[in-house]
A = this chain, B = another copy of it.
Amino acid sequence: MGTGPVKRRVTQDDVARAANVSRSTVSLVINGRAEGQIPEETRRRVLEAVRELGYAPNVAARMLAQGSNRLIGVFTYQQRFPFETHDFLYPFLLGIERQAAVEDYNLLLFTRAPKGGRRSVFQDGVNVLGMADGAVLMGSLTDRDELRQLVAEERPFVYVGRRDVPGCAFDWVSSDYRSGAREAASYLLAHGHRSICFTGIYFTEEPYRDRLTGCMEAVAEVPGAALHIIPDHVLDDAEAMYRFITDRDATALVCTGSRILARLIERLAPFGVAIPEDLSVVALSDEGGEFPLGLQPAHVRLNSVQVGAEAVRLLVERIEGRRKEPKSVLVPCALVPGNTVATINRSDHAWSS
């Protein structure tokens, strides 16, 4: 409970005394509202006192008084904060940071965890986002009512990743997973593939559903083409997966991430599956990733960094009152051809006779 015996902080009052003006004057100068109000000479005196005493505004007080801090909150529904590179949220954070710097905002990372349960913006019934001007939310959120509640509080926020909550409109930014996935599948179809596998998890969340939808759309346009969804439990069993693929005469695979892709390749290798001769693969990911054997995975670049940046841009628009209506942004993806897709020739293909 040790209430910090931190030396009493320097306040505007202290500055005012030192500069021999009133506190209001100090506030005016500090907030740049000195134009035509306070003459240069006074301004200088105040600023000097500020620097001499080492004054710094109190975040809480500022927030309380008028609600702005130039602080952007970042909240993640993941257990831990997505600093780890291998976390799929990491590139978003990268973009958020970059754009925050551009927009001249500081970042408030809500690392404080709840005692035991799942992460929530409401801790002990308190909306922790309250310390920031607005917040970027991300990660997979199980309880949609939380979003409703959040909207009701009318504090600006942007969700990274499309989230569809009926009767509840808010800002979000997402990669255009659907178009991206469609493009990936089309690319494979254009190379002659007709039986394509698809890996994907968390189908309850929009971004994952969108990936599937995109693929299905592309496949539906080509007569005789089929898409096969690899069930989760199969992904963990190398042999089951090999069976799954060969049983369906599949010659291609769309992967939702480059890490999954790496695992798949690794696991299929013992069965003599060569990429791309036996199996063509396209990933949906931010980067190609590093692969053995000189493989440069064909992939649809998701531009997650840009998504994070866009989220901040939207948020700042809202915070600064330049926009009132909810808005959503789809960041386009880009196909990056690698060397993991081959033109199919069914006559001499290993398992498609």
Interface residues, chain A, CB within 8 Å of chain B?
A: 1-7, 9-10, 30, 47, 50-51, 54-64, 66-71, 80-81, 83-85, 93-94, 97-98, 100-101, 104-113, 122, 125-133, 149, 152-156, 290, 319-322
> Contacting A59 at CB < 8 Å: which of B30, B107, B128?
B128
Distance in angstroms from A308 CB to nearest chain B CB is: 10
Given contacts A56-B127, A59-B71, A83-B97, contact A108 B108 (CB under 8 A): yes
> Contacting A112 at CB < 8 Å: which of B70, B111, B320?
B70
Distance in angstroms from A1 CB to nearest chain B CB is: 7
The 10 sampled A-B contact pairs (Cβ below 8 Å) are A2-B319, A6-B319, A30-B126, A58-B131, A59-B126, A71-B131, A81-B97, A83-B97, A106-B109, A106-B112
Chain A binding surface, main DSSP class:
loop
* Cβ B130 vs Cβ A10 within 8 A: yes
* Cβ A131 vs Cβ B60 within 8 A: yes
Residues of B within 8 A of A105 (CB): 111-112
* Cβ A5 vs Cβ B154 within 8 A: yes
> Contacting A4 at CB < 8 Å: which of B9, B58, B100, B133?
B133
For residue A82, which residue of chain B has the nearest CB?
B97
> Contacting A101 at CB < 8 Å: which of B58, B111, B125, B153?
B111
Given contacts A47-B125, A130-B60, contact A68 B3 (CB under 8 A): yes
* Cβ A156 vs Cβ B6 within 8 A: yes
* Cβ B64 vs Cβ A64 within 8 A: yes
Distance in angstroms from A236 CB to nearest chain B CB is: 24
Distance in angstroms from A84 CB to nearest chain B CB is: 7
* Cβ B101 vs Cβ A81 within 8 A: yes
